[in-house]
Structure 1
Amino acid sequence: MSMSANIQFVLGLNNVDVRRSLASALANDGYSNILVSGTRNKILSYILQYQVDVLVCDTNLDGKDMTSMVYNIRHQEIGCNPFMTVFMISESRDIEVIRRIVNAGVDTVMVTPVVVSNILKIINVLKLDRKDWEVTAQYVGPSRRGKNQPEAEQAPLIRVPNTLKYKFSANPTEAQLLKIIGNSSIEINMQKTTSQVIEIDQVVGQICKASADPSQSQSLVTFAKRLKGTAQNLLHRLGRYSGRDQGLDDTLGKIVATAEQMIAGQAVDYATVLKDLDKALNTGIESLSAQGFRPLNALGSQSAVLPLDEPSTADPAATEQGAEGVNAGSATDLFANLNWLTIKLHFEVLQNPLSQDGTPLPFILSEAFRVRFEALVFKHILPKMAHKCQGFIMRTDEEPEDKQAAYLQNMMEEPKNISFLWAAWESSWDAMTIEQPLPPKPADPKLISKLTKGSTKTAFEEWSDTVRKINASNAAVKSFIAELVQDTGEYLPPQLEYLAVLRGLYARSNKMLQNQISSIHQIADQGGNIGTTYDLYQKGKELDLAFLAVCYHFPDTFQNLEKRIIKTMLAGTPKEERRKTMPLTDHYLSAFL
């Protein structure tokens, strides 16, 4: 098999004849991995599913904008190769349209009519080399700088992977490509972090200057929006670094809050507040920088997962002029809220009609625990889940705002999507609750690593880097679990073995849970041989949550030592089986067994 056959092409073109001609020409040149479509959603699915090397697409595909997709690819919001080569074809020669395409981060812009042979010529050039990349607060992509641009205005250029070239010339393994892409992704993130701090400095300076001039009130709002978007994006980006303290996150949170006050027109001494916050931000970043910007999820030699960003709910600017962002922020929030609603409804069934009389309830029945659990899930689990489900979010964002909720809800309820969402929840939960094992030390610690081209690190140094990253990840797991099981005194806290119960809440049927509670109550109320009736009912069912809830919903019936309802119902379930299949009931209702 030729090396060309390994290169993955995706063609997203409206014109059927051009699609066929280009696909045929590529095939004649020895390329066999060619995916073709005339719809944006299909192209998105290809980007999410495959490690794409070359994307050729129209500016608008089936009437939908493609520059936003390219922007998100470059900013590591979607896909597994932010460094893919991108050709974008425009029907317009308007300078603003071309500028918008360039600012998305494409490699080449072509204007119709397109000559297929010209695309092939450019591909052959890019197989040999490509431009170094420019990374600023708002732009990631091939260098756009002009020959006469002053050096002071130039961002440092970064050499990025050219997977088209690698596959054509060296035929690397998938693990090698992941390693190369991962290391470059870290470098891009570090540079963007630095650029965003610089931008915040500049915007704060503009705000301080404009605040002294009453005629600049409208400019203040514009600056505030830009400040808010950059600070939110930076806060999200810092989430991947170890070594930072809570103070850095708090500082950025206060910057966002101050910007929101400015946008709302509240009377605050913005200049003084922001100067102090900006100083604190730079101090925090300097401290983080001194530690080497150690990433929490960086790709190590033992890892096979790309260190790509999880999507932020912020709306980062799409151009250097501070325009509105292209990320699906509102759709991301909607996705998180609808997925949490699935779990929240289970809590409502379990907790209704319970009332707090001062006696701590089991955690799963406590409103106080639900509130705590909700905060932890929104902070740690749902962002990871949203990252795995970008297809849902991108499609939702294409709908009119007033129809997005219904559209996303319907999509989530489709049978083919239910299992996908459960798998996304499951893996996101596991990432925060299961520690990773450390890799064994290398047999030859002095051997120079050959996995990364040009690496001067020894196998021991790479092993040490990987261990440090895994230890940081494991520390995050320990912190999450500690918060989850903390005894606040408001409820009976969960034990470690009950994490599986919380993990399984997402997959439960709300209606089934309600029916189970009602059925168990009816069995107890009807009298007669309730033990036999319950035995017949419980076969093949998971009743732990329902049984625990009904016993607290109707304590006069179930928690009555004279009636011995609980003991009678569960008498037919062997003790060891009960401990295994009904751990909550066995623990919290042990006094009645």
Structure 2
Amino acid sequence: MSTAAATDWEKVFEDPKSGLIARIEGAKNNANLPDICCAVVEKLYKRRDDARLRDRYRDKITQIFDADRPTDDKLAETVAILREIKQDRIIRAGKKRKARSLEQTLQEYDDTAAQLFADLVLEELQNVLDLLSDGIKPVAKRPLPYFVSPAFGDHFKEIVRTDFMPELQIFNRREIAAAEDLPPNERAAALKQAFEELQFREKFFSAWKHVWSNLTEQHAPPDKPERKRQGFMESLKSQLLGDPEFDDSMTIEEWQEAVALNTKRNEKAKAIWARIAAPSDDYVAPTDAERDFLGGLIVHPYEETQQTIEKLTQMATDKAPASVFTKFQDGKDIDLALLLASMRYPKLFIAGNGGYLKEIMRGFKPGERRLLFPRVDQYLFDEAADKAAAKKESGPTSFRVSLK
């Protein structure tokens, strides 16, 4: 889609022939002028974030026309409000131009703040991968699940660098630009300090979720706009507003461009996910069903997970009754912690087709286990054994992974 030219708000409002103020002044004897002025406000402040200003200006206009005063006085006050709105639009346009300028400036950063930011993001991702794979080795010569595999980690980081980083940099352009203004020897420390601040991390995690969705998921196209027959008031507003840039609704042509852009983005997302999830002899690659799980790993609360792993390991060491585990896990999501504990300490949890994991899973039917512990079920239990056990109605299921 081509980039639209910037709106000349001075001309939109002040042009003596086609400007908004000239049109309002020319319609001063129209009985519907108050409604038309309010319609202008609603068109210019249509977004949810504009509600406060929209209500403020609409109330002002209503109060002006409700007052028992000469029409020329009412019109003069209304024009003053329109000029106030004009200034607001000019300020907003300036902010948008500045934001676009920041995005363009990012393209000029090479081994400076933008590159330092990329390095810190990849360092953050590596820290997550290290936490996941800590103490885990292949079991029974089987490939490791992707999220604990160093080979997958290297593969994934390269895709993040080449495909995700440009969008992540745009979302965090202000921090990057601020670091770029510092002396070169201070930039890395400033960005690293930012990464340690809660507010920045929350912003970064929000950006990551958005970019992950954009670059790996399929999105529905926008709804086709309806062509509606205009009533008297709509016709008046169209004549008054004239220029289609005042209308936030899509034209058919804009919709067609948006659909084409959405198709292109979906094709890109499909290709990126195919690269991420490509089969490998070195690890068990992620499935389509694990897309959200993989995308959420970088924002997972790992300190809490580590504490849970330690508690589960202590239970296994003490051979605590299954009822203790059942009470502990009730209402919690400990699927990842239980899987990591089992893979870090296989002799405790999964040795010899038994172990503590099998003991604590006795109280869960296969369907319950798949619901509460999807990752444990996927990587440590054997579906065929589940079916066999169901037919015999006896005994717990066997493990896919076992240590002799």
**What TM-score does the superposition give when structure 2 sets the normalisation length?**
0.62
Match status 1:386 vs 2:159: no
Matches within 5 A, 1:402-417: 402-417=185-200
Amino acid at match of 2:126: K
* Structure 2 residue matching 1:372: 3-state secondary structure: helix
Specify whether residues 395 and 571 from structure 1 end up closer, same or farther in structure 2 by C-alpha distance, changes over 3 A only: farther
Q: Which residue of 2 aligns with 1:332?
A: 114
Counterpart pick for 2:289 among 485, 497, 503 = 497
Q: Aligned to 1:494, what secondary structure does the other structure show?
A: coil
Q: Which has the higher strand share?
A: 1
CA distance in 2, matches of 1:564, 1:376: 38
Secondary structure (helix, strand or coil) at the match of 2:311 reads helix
| Residue 568 (str. 1) matches residue 350 (str. 2) | no
Residue 275 of structure 2 corresponds to 483
CA 1:173–1:380 in 2, change beyond 3 Å: closer, same or farther? farther
- Choose from 98, 123, 142 the match for 1:341: 123
Shift of 1:560: 2.0
In structure 1, distance between residues paired with 2:105 and 2:315 = 48
Q: Does 1:546 align with 2:392?
A: no
- The answer on 1:401 being equivalent to 2:178 is no
Ranges in structure 1 where 5+ consecutive residues have no aligned partner:
1-81, 84-158, 177-306, 317-326
- Whether 1:465 and 2:257 are equivalent positions in the alignment is yes
Report 1:293-442 matches (<5 A): 311=103, 316=108, 327=109, 330-356=112-138, 358-442=141-225
1:555 equivalent in alignment to 2:337? no
CA contact (8 A) 1:350 1:365 kept: yes
Q: How many residues align?
A: 293
How far residue 426 of structure 1 moved from its aligned partner, in angstroms, is: 1.1
2:172 & 2:259 partners in 1: Cα distance? Answer: 29
Is the CA contact 2:309–2:341 (under 8 Å) kept in the aligned structure 1?
A: yes
Higher helix share: 2
Structure 2 CA distance for partners of 1:313 and 1:580, relative to 1, 3 Å:
farther
Matches within 5 A, 1:97-496: 160-166=6-12, 169-170=19-20, 173=44, 311=103, 316=108, 327=109, 330-356=112-138, 358-444=141-227, 452=244, 459-496=251-288
Closer/same/farther in 2, CA of residues 163 and 528 from structure 1, 3 Å limit: same
C-alpha offsets along residues 94-127 of structure 1, whole Å, 9 cap, x if unaligned? xxxxxxxxxxxxxxxxxxxxxxxxxxxxxxxxxx
Would the aligned equivalents of 1:543 and 1:582 in 2 still touch at CA under 8 Å? yes
State the alpha-carbon separation in 2 of the partners of residues 463 and 376 from structure 1.
Answer: 31
The alignment yields a C-alpha RMSD, in angstroms, of 3.7
Residue of structure 2 in register with 1:518 after alignment: 310
Shift of 1:478: 1.0
Distance 1:511 1:435 in 2: 32
Q: Partner amino acid for 1:553?
A: R
How far apart are 1:483 and its partner, in Å?
1.4
Amino acid at match of 1:425: W
Instruction: Tell me the alpha carbon deviations over residues 270-289 of structure 1, each in whole angstroms, 9 at most, x when there is no partner.
Output: xxxxxxxxxxxxxxxxxxxx
- Does residue 537 of structure 1 match 2:341? no
Report the AA paired with residue 161 of structure 1. T
| 2:102–2:177 contact (8 Å) kept in structure 1 | no
Q: Is the 8 A contact 1:338 1:409 kept in 2?
A: yes
Once the two structures are superposed, residues 353-402 of structure 1 have per-residue CA deviations (whole angstroms, 9 ceiling, x without a partner) of: 23457521111111111111111222222321221122221222233333
Return closer, same or farther for 1:338/1:570 CA change in 2, 3 Å cut-off: farther
Contact map agreement 1:313 1:333 (CA 8 A) in 2: no
The amino acid across from 1:344 in the alignment is Q
CA distance in 1 between counterparts of 2:373 and 2:184 reads: 44
SS of residue in 1 equivalent to 2:112: helix
Map of 2:59 onto structure 1: none
Shift of 1:333: 1.9
Structure 2 unaligned runs (5+)?
Answer: 21-39, 48-98, 231-241, 383-397, 400-404
Does the 8 Å contact 1:311/1:383 carry over to 2?
Answer: no
1:406 and 1:559, CA in 2 relative to 1: closer, same or farther beyond 3 A?
A: same
TM-score, normalized by length of structure 1?
0.44
Seen in structure 2, the aligned counterparts of structure 1 residues 359 and 313 have a Cα distance that, compared at 3 Å, is farther
> Relative to structure 1, is the Cα distance of residues 469 and 538 closer, same or farther in structure 2, using a 3 angstrom cutoff?
same
1:442-475 deviation digits (Å, cap 9, x = unpaired) = 4459x9xx87569xxx944433222211110111
**Offset of residue 160 of structure 1:** 4.5
Distance across 1 between alignment mates of 2:301 and 2:212: 19
Q: For residues 179-221 of structure 1, give each alpha carbon's deviation from its aligned partner in whole angstroms, at most 9, with x where no partner exists.
A: xxxxxxxxxxxxxxxxxxxxxxxxxxxxxxxxxxxxxxxxxxx
Offset, 1:541: 3.6
Equivalent residues in 2 for 1:22-61, closer than 5 Å: none
Q: Distance in 2 between matches of 1:543 and 1:313?
A: 44
- Could you tell me how far apart the structure 1 residues matched to 2:105 and 2:137 are? 35
Q: 1:574 to 1:337 in 2, by over 3 A?
A: farther
Q: For residue 79 of structure 1, what is the aligned residue in structure 2?
A: none
Call closer, same or farther: CA 1:577–1:433 in 2, change over 3 Å.
farther
Shift of 1:582: 2.5
Conserved 8 A contact 1:362-1:492: yes
8 A Cα contact 2:194 2:200, kept in partner = yes
- AA paired with 1:333? Q
- Partner residue of 2:299? 507
Residue identity opposite 1:330 in structure 2:
T
Matching residue's letter, 1:512: E
Note the C-alpha offset of 1:404.
2.5
